[in-house]
Amino acid sequence: MQVSSQIIHADRSSLFVYDERTDELWSMVAEGIESRQIRVPSTSGLAGDSFTRQAPINVADAYTDPRFNQSVDQDTGYHTHGVLTVPVTTRDGRRLGVMQAFNRLDGEPFDETDVARLTAFGAQAAVAIENATLFAEVASERNYNESILRSMSSGGGDAGPRPAARQAERRGLHDPGGRAGSRRGPGHPGEAGGEQPLAGAGNPGGGRERASQEPARTPISRPCAARSFPPTSRSSR
């Protein structure tokens, strides 16, 4: 704003931005009163009229114009003479706020050259405001996504093993009592003999055989009367 004041030879200048939530214009930059923020209704004063009609307003004597809001001068102790107000609008016509210049240094009213120059500064301000707004939205969206990811990571730390555990239970690997319903092969850890799989088509009985019930049979090429076997159930073969 200091540059715009120097270019058009104004004592001070200000930038008011529109707040959609409150329907107000608030001072984003105000030379001479940087320590406080000014808020006015979007239709109040010279700033509100320029913002509403989207047209420049050039007033040589502010106190003779009924639209001029004298309360700001009363609060700040500043005395306004000439006021130049231009709207700040994006290229697609969205209204962002207004820019004002106060009291030309040579005491003369602002002229058409000053209007053109301040309007050009208003166009640059519109680009800056739009970029700042877009950056803030992107940063807010990024922070939101990061917070969601952190929440999912911290809240789902013990959720990983559960599907595997349920799958293992369905397979019978988590049978605490070692019941017959869990089908384990002969090499299952913790069991010396293990249970054999269910009998196939070659086992009419459909039962199970344990290695401890019947030793392995070996081919016999000649009769051997002296060898005997413990009694077994033939139907379970």
Tell me the pLDDT tens digit for each residue of 154-207: 765 444 445 555 555 555 544 555 444 444 444 444 444 444 444 444 444 444
Q: Phi-psi category of 194—alpha, beta or left, where left has phi over 0 and alpha has psi -120 to 50?
A: left
Summarize the confidence of residues 76-104 as an average pLDDT: 94
The answer to whether position 164 is within a domain reads no
**Separation between Cα atoms, residue 160 and residue 153, nearest integer Å:** 11
Whole-model pTM: value is 0.57
- Domain residues for the domain of 22 are 2-147
The domain that holds 90 is classified in CATH as 3.30.450.40
- Compare 121 and 191 and report the one with higher pLDDT: 121
Q: How many domains does the chain have?
A: 1
What would the 3-class secondary structure string for 71-133 be? Answer: HHHHHHCCCCCCEEEEEEECCCCCEEEEEEEEEECCCCCCCHHHHHHHHHHHHHHHHHHHHHH
- Taking the CA atoms of residue 19, residue 20, residue 21 and residue 26 in that order, the dihedral angle to the nearest 10 degrees is 10
pLDDT, position 166: 55
Q: How confident is the model at residue 26 (pLDDT cuts 50, 70, 90)?
A: very high
The answer to whether position 222 is within a domain reads no
The answer to whether position 214 is within a domain reads no
The answer to whether position 209 is within a domain reads no
The answer to whether position 82 is within a domain reads yes
Q: How confident is the model at residue 216 (pLDDT cuts 50, 70, 90)?
A: low
The answer to whether position 166 is within a domain reads no
pLDDT, position 218: 53
The answer to whether position 53 is within a domain reads yes
The answer to whether position 220 is within a domain reads no
Q: How confident is the model at residue 215 (pLDDT cuts 50, 70, 90)?
A: low
pLDDT, position 187: 45
